[in-house]
Amino acid sequence: MFRNQNHNIRGNRHGKVLFSEQMSTEQNMIGPKLRSLREAEGLTQAEFAGRLQLAGWDISRETLAKVESQVRCVTDRELVRFAEALEVDPSELLKPARF
């Protein structure tokens, strides 16, 4: 096995990456875009969590903060719920955030 110093992943001698060792420190890719869209609507994390709760999803402000900071994974169902609450297509959350 070798260690790729640029990407902190391991591969075998043929250069193939081992799936079990691809874990990144970022647990989702939508966090920054979710934050950007929420802020564009002028919502705090607490207000957005409240909107999601009114839609029937028991999510806390703390959990939302973890998603936005890419500390928590997001399921496909959660991706759709976030998109519905922001009234955007789910694919919009997969686009990079512009800062």
pLDDT band for position 97 (cuts 50, 70, 90): confident
**Is the pTM value of this prediction over 0.85?**
no
In the chain, where are the structural domains located? 25-93
CA dihedral 66, 71, 72, 75 (to 10 degrees): 110
> Which CATH superfamily, name and number, covers 25-93?
lambda repressor-like DNA-binding domains (1.10.260.40)
The token pair at 75 is 């399921």
Kindly tell me if the per-residue pLDDT of 18 is higher than 50.
no
pLDDT band for position 1 (cuts 50, 70, 90): very low
58-94 pLDDT tens trace:
999 999 999 999 999 999 999 999 999 999 999 999 9
